[in-house]
Structure 1
Amino acid sequence: MVSLFGRFAASPHNSKIMRAIASEFDADWYLSHYSDVADAGVDPLAHYVRYGAREGRNPRPDFDGTSYLIINPDVRDAGMNPFYHWVLYGRAEGRVISHDQGIAGGSSGEMPALEFSGLLTPLDCLASSQLRRLDLSALPDKLMGRGFPYGMVPGPVSFPLVLFRDGPGEVPADRIQQALALTTGAVHVLSRNAGRRRGKGRDRLRHWSLTGDAALADLKAVLKGLDSEFVGLWDAAFSPAISAWHFLEAALRQDPVLAHAGASLVRRDGRLWRSGFRERAGEAGLAALGRDAHFLDPYQFRLKPSAMLDPCFGLARVAALRDAAAHVGRRDGPRMTEAILRLAAPLARFGQPVFAAQGCALALSEDEPYQPLKPAKADDGVLPNDPGPVEAVVFVDSVPPMPDQDAGSVTASNFVDIFLERGAEVVFYSTAQRNWNNPYALALAARGVVCLTDPVVRNYTQACEHIAAAGYERLSFLLTRIYAGGELVEQTRARFPQARLIFNTVDLHGLRELREARIAGSPAREFSAQATFARERDIIQRCDATILLSEAEMTELSPTLGHANLHLIPMVNEFSPPKARYSQRRGLMFIGGFAHYPNVDAVEYILDELWAPIRARDPDMVLQIVGPHFPDRLRDRLPEGVEALGFVPDLGAALEKVRLTLAPLRYGAGIKGKIGTSLAHGVPCVATSLAAEGMGLQAGRDILVADTPEAFAEAVISLHGDEMRWTRMSRAGYDFCEARYSRRVVAAKLNALLDGVPA
């Protein structure tokens, strides 16, 4: 994809832009949001105009420049500063100013209508008004990769909660009401000044008066009277999200071996990582809660082995706790957390592992952060359930994968699942879109990915500090695209000299830009493309390995960079054998996202050169153009028989209705997702030789190739009207792609790369 911010050289003079946007620019927000700018002491407005817009930074909290360029490709194509365009023209034209607004408003009818509301959310803290309510269950299945974990469902839980305050004072009344709202079961309140309370739900309340230093005895008494399978343990200093309880319950039901799951992870070195946010009294913002900056992303749903039972918040099996309590001596202490911690060693001896659940957000309700206790040890002095070595893959790209939008994102989404399935921690950093409530970031997090988003990190330097603090024993960086991860190769190598750096080209941008420049006949653009190509070669030599998509790219680079550990790992296709027969289909389709300019050029080529000879041979032929962000200037000139459908939620269903797809690309690089998608659904394709290059397809067997308008039209008409040939090519193309581009094949190549790259 062409960099969204790579064409600002054509913008008016900087001083003109600064004057136009000065009254709309939020300088205070910009400095507070981008700490590196504040630290440098530069003028925020000048920084945004000169550098910030190109880097994907935003001028104020309600304006998303990256989304504005995606939603409005005419602005991107004109090379204008997005905020400058909106101030001068876009506002009067009613254009949306963020991706989220476009989603909610259904901009042009091309974006998926995602609604986020309800109870199933990692940040639905009833006592924390700052935390927004987002329903992750509303995310489409396609965004969820291999699926949402554990089949979580919304609504109150049914198990009882033990609510206590581990310190002086009573359990707050609002916390009791919150507990009653979160569960339909009983709420047991342990307090030193217990008394009967009146109010809603009082029939489900049981108050226990803590006596002196007998916290353990009181806990045993509570456990003895429980008749449920699970019990929630909850320190009133925290405000858990309802989805946290749901996730813990689903995790314990999924794995009967688990005795306890909590929201804190204790590493074998004794460090405690807490998942969630801390509310600062009297302040509107949120700050990460943790000790020594160790922080678990609260938008991550994943279990990990822990060295201890979480004494402050977690869900346990009642039977396991009773058994453990029977083996714990009478030494009592004044703190309930100490009593809970003392149950960890017997659990470990019984072979029942203790796990931590990331994705369970907690908001600290008091101003002082909780000071964690030292982890409990088994009798032999060894920490139970040692988490062992940790491998992490840091995925750096411009934006989170959008698998409902483009084929490249389908591959990226599959890469994420492959990394997770090998047991690695996956950390995602976006160079241009770090809003925590971005639906695509939420979808990653719900699959178990640590998303380094605002407000956790503001820039890549802070991201690196979080990664370094994690202490991973094996660390790989997947630096994706020259204009995103490739820009950070020197900084990454300097900060992590022992890490494995893998350059994921997606395609050779310099090669694609060079071909585009030659078609346009622009020496200036050709010179710029040569510079891009030179930078790509430089990045390849700085990294430990490089991923190329096509055989053509491998051939291009091997003569001079064959020593650079090049790996051919193609795109991943989602396969669906064709269901509709030839006779049940008719017409043609072009597939492509139009934020990618080669697709715009291909449609222009269809309209200018190909459609007339095709319709001359078959006056009833129809063509559907499918893909988001279709330009209005092309929509206004569509001829008879051509329809632009925009974004299609179910592309597989749409492909069941057509006989052929077209891929008349005139420039580009890599392998073409539109061809792989078509063949993976059993739909033959007619393409130019450039579109089919490097894929290993055999012309006439797997695909038809033509490079002149007359030859292209003849190939389309002949294949569209020949049932026997269509059936043969449908099967051949599908079988070829399954053997080359299936997830199974790509996973084997990707794992071999991760295992074989030298440190």
Structure 2
Amino acid sequence: MQTALIIGYVWPEPNSSAAGRRILDLIDALQAGGIAVHFACAASPTEHQCDLRALNVTTHAIALNCDSVDRWVAELAPDVVVFDRFVTEEQFGWRVSSAAPNALRVLDTEDFHSLRAARELALKRALAGNPSADVGAITVGNAELYELMREDDRLLRELAAIFRCDVSLMISSFEVTLLQEYCQVPPQLLYHLPFTVDQPAMTYPDFAAREHFVSIGNFRHRPNWDAVLWLKQHVWPAIRQQLPRAELHIYGAYPPPKATALHNKRQGFLVKGWADDALTVVAQHKVLLAPLRVGAGIKGKLLDAMLTGTPSVTTDIGAEGMCGECQWPGAIANDSKALAAQAVSLYQDESQWRLAANACGPLLAKHYSRADLGPKLVTVLRERHLNLNAWRRDNILGALFNFHSIRSTEFMSRWIEVKSRLNKAD
């Protein structure tokens, strides 16, 4: 296996979102395994995108609904193709299947979108009639989650993409369990791969050198925006009542006017916007707040807290799939009063703070080691590629979805392609 092609949903912005960081994790693992990486994307470039060429990645701008992609993929002849999110597999999976039939097809789910949508639906219903009500984290059981997921055809689309691919990379162990137990996805189709990091190489400020609280997250991501609103309306007022001089510094990419309008210096609620370096910013603060009521996957902001030895206060949604049997480096609570109490306690109690800060390193080493996880991923991909024909023969549902379900997206794309040609001819 010598050549890998990653087809991106967008051009990666690792300083803006965890999704961008995830792409760089995959690139690093593939390159460390001696595999040349190409990255292709149909989205428009952005001013904040990573310079992939500086990372020795060959980049390609491609078009949607255009057979030029077929010819280009056939010429490249990649050994493995990674689809960034299920919608990208829907758009390009059938083209790759035809143009490079011997390429291992890998779906990087980023997170389980159906799960996130189900929790957002549950929150919407809980807030119906009173959008500013103090509703806590959505912690319904797996059976109820599955029923909520079934209300949206996104679940079927995601499952079809998972079955069509040879392996799907899952960032959260919780999502692996949900897919196996409720969606009947065979374990061999799923591979658990969290974020990968190197152990911190520098010492970050100690308790006495830090001050204030921090929250960080891309404002375009709905769970992050909901967390900011919950902070503003309920969690932060409860903290501020006990710590009247404390400030909350809120950072995140793409802050909309509705977010900057929440800035209130008198309340200590400071919307800072973009962070040039998330780790440097987080390391200046005593406690990171991540009161996530909804969401899926695992959270880059909480990983940043661990990397900087910063205790974090979050919900079960935030911590989901992140620590296994390890001690959480901070506190977990699911309602505003409990979150505030835990945050104040960590902020004031130096011994409690140190225990949480010291728990970061062991957790990172056990669950997120780049040196351990990267080579294991490449080994799995090589073995599966080597036995690809037998693997696909045994994946009968994958064959079924590739034979039937894929046809609608293919023919819609071909129709758009023909229509475009006719319009140009006119």
Please indicate, yes or no, whether the TM-score normalized by the shorter chain is above 0.5. Answer: yes
Q: 1:529 to 1:444 in 2, by over 3 A?
A: farther
The two structures have a TM-score, normalised by structure 1, of 0.45
1:561 and 2:167 matched: no
1:544 and 2:171 matched: no
Q: What residue in structure 2 maps to residue 402 of structure 1?
A: 13
Q: Distance in 2 between matches of 1:404 and 1:580?
A: 22
Q: What residue in structure 1 maps to residue 396 of structure 2?
A: none
The two structures have a TM-score, normalised by structure 2, of 0.79
Q: 1:395 to 1:616 in 2, by over 3 A?
A: same
Cα deviation for residue 678 of structure 1 reads 0.8
Cα deviation for residue 509 of structure 1 reads 0.5
- Alignment check: 8 A CA contact 1:509 1:669 kept: yes
1:592 and 2:217 matched: yes
Q: Distance in 2 between matches of 1:477 and 1:675?
A: 29
| Among 332, 338, 349, the residue aligned to 1:705 | 332
Cα deviation for residue 735 of structure 1 reads 2.0
Q: Distance in 1 between matches of 2:349 and 2:90?
A: 47
Q: Deviations over 1:175-194 (max 9, x none)?
A: xxxxxxxxxxxxxxxxxxxx
Q: What residue in structure 2 maps to residue 59 of structure 1?
A: none
| Among 52, 59, 66, the residue aligned to 1:451 | 59
Q: What is the alpha-carbon root mean square deviation over aligned residues?
A: 2.4
1:570 and 2:181 matched: no
| Among 671, 681, 684, the residue aligned to 2:298 | 671
Q: What residue in structure 2 maps to residue 492 of structure 1?
A: 96
Q: Distance in 2 between matches of 1:575 and 1:486?
A: 36
Q: Deviations over 1:147-202 (max 9, x none)?
A: xxxxxxxxxxxxxxxxxxxxxxxxxxxxxxxxxxxxxxxxxxxxxxxxxxxxxxxx
- Alignment check: 8 A CA contact 1:607 1:638 kept: no
Q: Aligned pair count?
A: 361
Q: What residue in structure 2 maps to residue 440 of structure 1?
A: 49
Q: 1:563 to 1:701 in 2, by over 3 A?
A: closer
Secondary structure, aligned partner of 2:276: coil
Q: 1:655 to 1:722 in 2, by over 3 A?
A: same
1:718 and 2:345 matched: yes
| Among 510, 513, 530, the residue aligned to 2:117 | 513
Q: Structure 1 counterpart of 2:275, which letter?
A: V
1:462 and 2:64 matched: no
Q: 1:722 to 1:432 in 2, by over 3 A?
A: same
Q: Distance in 2 between matches of 1:672 and 1:666?
A: 13
Secondary structure, aligned partner of 1:719: helix
Q: Distance in 2 between matches of 1:681 and 1:648?
A: 15
- Alignment check: 8 A CA contact 1:546 1:564 kept: no
Q: What residue in structure 1 maps to residue 108 of structure 2?
A: 504
Secondary structure, aligned partner of 2:270: strand
Q: What residue in structure 1 maps to residue 317 of structure 2?
A: 690
Q: Deviations over 1:393-415 (max 9, x none)?
A: 11011112111212221221131
Secondary structure, aligned partner of 1:629: coil
Q: Structure 1 counterpart of 2:22, which letter?
A: T
Mapping 1:21-170, distance limit 5 Å: none
Q: Distance in 2 between matches of 1:680 and 1:672?
A: 13
Q: 1:616 to 1:440 in 2, by over 3 A?
A: closer
Q: Distance in 1 between matches of 2:92 and 2:77?
A: 21
Q: Structure 2 counterpart of 1:598, which letter?
A: P
- Alignment check: 8 A CA contact 1:407 1:677 kept: no
Q: Distance in 1 between matches of 2:383 and 2:77?
A: 22
Cα deviation for residue 417 of structure 1 reads 2.3
Q: Structure 2 counterpart of 1:589, which letter?
A: V
Secondary structure, aligned partner of 1:530: coil
Cα deviation for residue 507 of structure 1 reads 0.1
Pair member with larger Rg: 1
Q: Distance in 2 between matches of 1:573 and 1:529?
A: 36
Q: Distance in 1 between matches of 2:380 and 2:257?
A: 43
Q: Distance in 1 between matches of 2:367 and 2:49?
A: 28
1:627 and 2:252 matched: yes
Mapping 1:319-358, distance limit 5 Å: none
Q: What residue in structure 1 maps to residue 414 of structure 2?
A: none
Cα deviation for residue 752 of structure 1 reads 2.3
Q: 1:738 to 1:716 in 2, by over 3 A?
A: same
Structure 2, unmatched stretches of 5+, are 129-147, 389-426
Q: What residue in structure 2 maps to residue 178 of structure 1?
A: none
- Alignment check: 8 A CA contact 1:503 1:543 kept: yes
| Among 24, 32, 56, the residue aligned to 1:421 | 32
| Among 352, 358, 383, the residue aligned to 1:756 | 383
- Alignment check: 8 A CA contact 1:697 1:703 kept: no
Q: What residue in structure 2 maps to residue 610 of structure 1?
A: 235
Q: Distance in 1 between matches of 2:106 and 2:272?
A: 37
Q: Deviations over 1:119-146 (max 9, x none)?
A: xxxxxxxxxxxxxxxxxxxxxxxxxxxx
Q: What residue in structure 2 maps to residue 476 of structure 1?
A: 80
Q: What residue in structure 2 maps to residue 743 of structure 1?
A: 370
- Alignment check: 8 A CA contact 2:330 2:353 kept: no
Cα deviation for residue 742 of structure 1 reads 2.6
Q: Structure 2 counterpart of 1:415, which letter?
A: L
Cα deviation for residue 468 of structure 1 reads 1.3
| Among 155, 158, 171, the residue aligned to 1:533 | 155
Q: Distance in 2 between matches of 1:529 and 1:666?
A: 20
> Whose helix proportion is higher, 1 or 2?
2
Q: What residue in structure 1 maps to residue 272 of structure 2?
A: 645
Structure 1, unmatched stretches of 5+, are 1-389
Q: What residue in structure 2 maps to residue 19 of structure 1?
A: none
- Alignment check: 8 A CA contact 1:548 1:566 kept: yes
Q: 1:700 to 1:528 in 2, by over 3 A?
A: closer
Cα deviation for residue 467 of structure 1 reads 2.6
Q: Distance in 1 between matches of 2:303 and 2:90?
A: 26
Q: 1:451 to 1:458 in 2, by over 3 A?
A: farther
Q: Deviations over 1:564-596 (max 9, x none)?
A: 521000012465344211011111111101111
- Alignment check: 8 A CA contact 1:397 1:485 kept: no
- Alignment check: 8 A CA contact 1:671 1:693 kept: yes
Q: Deviations over 1:686-725 (max 9, x none)?
A: 0011111111355865331001111111000011111111
Q: Distance in 1 between matches of 2:26 and 2:214?
A: 28
- Alignment check: 8 A CA contact 1:510 1:529 kept: no
Q: Structure 2 counterpart of 1:613, which letter?
A: A
Q: 1:484 to 1:684 in 2, by over 3 A?
A: same
Q: Distance in 1 between matches of 2:313 and 2:48?
A: 35
Secondary structure, aligned partner of 1:625: strand
Q: Deviations over 1:438-490 (max 9, x none)?
A: 6736x112322221126xx6766323312312345xx1111111222343223
Secondary structure, aligned partner of 1:644: strand
Q: What residue in structure 2 maps to residue 79 of structure 1?
A: none
Q: What residue in structure 1 maps to residue 419 of structure 2?
A: none
Q: Structure 1 counterpart of 2:94, which letter?
A: E
Cα deviation for residue 740 of structure 1 reads 1.2
Q: 1:755 to 1:492 in 2, by over 3 A?
A: same
Q: Distance in 2 between matches of 1:722 and 1:660?
A: 12
Q: Structure 2 counterpart of 1:727, which letter?
A: R
Q: Structure 1 counterpart of 2:237, which letter?
A: A
- Alignment check: 8 A CA contact 1:501 1:544 kept: yes
- Alignment check: 8 A CA contact 1:585 1:659 kept: yes
Q: Which has the higher contact order (CA 8 A, sep 6+)?
A: 2
Q: Distance in 2 between matches of 1:512 and 1:741?
A: 23
